[in-house]
Amino acid sequence: MSEWSLSRLLAGLHEDIERRLQIARQTLAHPSAKGDASETVWLDLLQNYLPKRYSAEKAHVVDSNGVFSQQIDVLIFDRQYSPFILSFEGQKIIPAESVYAVFEAKQTINAGLIAYAKQKVASVRSLHRTSLPIPYAGGTYEPKALTPILSGILAFESDWNPPMGEPLINALGTGETQGCLDLGCVAAHGIFSCDYSHGVTLALQSKPATAFLLELIARLQSIATVPMIDTRAYAKWLDA
């Protein structure tokens, strides 16, 4: 009789994330240190558990027109087909075509931080993305249509009481569509998902971090592969 328990394994994964976020919040004094620690916890989760075709890093995004995004706390991008623009001394610049998802990582959530996360998201979604025809043995596929870039916010706690209720729904529903948040996790309470044709779904969970990870992977699977990047569009900047 096997002593393994899938339920305990999934619970243990969440408990590790929640414990590390709680320690960062309770023991680190400086806000920047708290923020950096929170980002590291979420990045470790994704770097360890996402399929290897995906990378997760703190990074900026750039397009072939030379426009840069704001710095993104947790950027999920393709490493199977896409090049880096720059990777130097901890600084990473990722081409816009490579991006699957962007997340803001915070100790807590409130209306102001959700609005801030939406600005970060919009700075990526507004970038230009190329898409080339895809050659294969029998000919050439048409350029892949650009898929939506997933977005969200990751946190340990909520400033609201109740932590996941009407104020959160209202904050998620305001602002421009380009900055909308699709998926989020409040590790101490639950996850949320947004479908702007049907509204916001809140799910109180006993294992929110694990639930978020599995839902994120499912959504990444539905996107399939990023478009084929036109590297020559970036090469024009060599002579600028």
Active-site residue (options: 106, 118, 120, 207): 106
As beta bridge partners, residue 136 has 139
CB of 129 within 8 A of CB of 96? Answer: yes
What separation in angstroms does the CA of 3 have from each of 7, 8, 12? 12, 11, 15
- Angle made by CA atoms 55, 58, 64, in degrees to the nearest 5: 80
Tokens read off for 195: 């479908």
Q: Which two tokens stand for residue 10?
A: 């999934």
If we measure between CA atoms, which residue out of 97, 32, 86 comes closest to residue 59?
86
Q: For residue 62, how far is the Cα from the chain centroid?
A: 16
| Beta pairing partners, 68 | 62
Pick the catalytic residue: 57, 78, 97, 104? Answer: 104
Active site residue 78: no
22, 28 contact by CB (below 8 A) = no
**Among 39, 57, 63, 73, the one annotated catalytic:** 73
Which residues are catalytic, by number? 73, 104, 106
